[in-house]
Amino acid sequence: MPPGPDRLAGTGGRPIRSVVFSEATLARRVEELGREITAAYPDGHLLVIGLLKGSFIFLADLVRRIERPLQIDFLVASSYGMARTSSGAVQLRYEPALALEGKHILVVDDIIDSGRTMTELLDWLRRRNPKSLSICALLDKQLAPPPKELRFLGFTAPNAFLVGYGLDCAEDFRHLPYIADLD
């Protein structure tokens, strides 16, 4: 007998409440976002900056759907640490190695919840004089008004603790090919 929804494969037997976005649903939306981004940036230097660690799976799938030349770099910022709630203090642990000035910068994030981390990162990026600055977020919990730079959005997310497809709980569950509500 296959495992029930509270014991899905890859969870180590730990319970999840439900699958919120299936693997197929994610793949369809990522393909659509790739087309939208391709159309939005017909020319110029496009630098896609992924926010690690949560965006890495989404970013990898997304950039393979963007049909134009681009560069990829990363930022590591954290406000969660090993907790299930944000500490409110954003720490920048790694910054892009590539030059940012004069480039179209597309920040790729897994989830926007309070918006504090993104607000601080956008301020930091603006000081590097990009040609343009936009955000592509897979999920928005709509807990705060979205940043004006949010140009591409995968899904509105429920106010739940979501894991999978890069999202974690204390570094677990990132590998799941779907997004689930952790019990």
Over the stretch 114-123, which tens digit does the pLDDT of each residue have?
888 888 899 9
76: three-class secondary structure by DSSP: strand
Backbone angles phi, psi at 160, to 5 degrees: -140, 170
Domain that holds residue 110: 22-76+90-182
Dist. CA 157–CA 4, nearest whole Å: 23
Q: 113 lies in a domain? A: yes
Q: 81 lies in a domain? A: no
Q: 13 lies in a domain? A: no
Q: Name the nearest CA neighbour of 140 among 170, 118, 123.
A: 118
CATH number at residue 140: 3.40.50.2020
Q: 11 lies in a domain? A: no
Q: What percent of the chain has pLDDT over 90?
A: 63
Query: What per-residue confidence (pLDDT) applies to 116?
Result: 82
Contact assessment for residue 137 and residue 112, using Cβ atoms and an 8 Å cutoff: yes
| The dihedral sign for the CA sequence 24, 29, 30, 35 | positive
> One of 113, 123, 140, 172 is an active-site residue; which one?
113
Q: 7 lies in a domain? A: no
Dist. CA 106–CA 93, nearest whole Å: 19
Q: 4 lies in a domain? A: no
Which ranges of the chain have pLDDT less than 70? 1-14, 78-90, 93-95
36: three-class secondary structure by DSSP: helix
| Annotation marks residue 113 as catalytic | yes
Q: What is the pTM of this model?
A: 0.86
5: three-class secondary structure by DSSP: helix
- Per-residue pLDDT of 12-29, as tens digits, reads 666 788 999 999 999 999
Query: What per-residue confidence (pLDDT) applies to 88?
Result: 59
Q: 39 lies in a domain? A: yes
Q: 146 lies in a domain? A: yes
Q: What are the percentages of helix, strand and coil residues in the chain, rounded to 5?
A: 20, 35, 45
**Cis? peptide before 131, omega within 30° of 0:** no
Structural domain total, the chain: 1
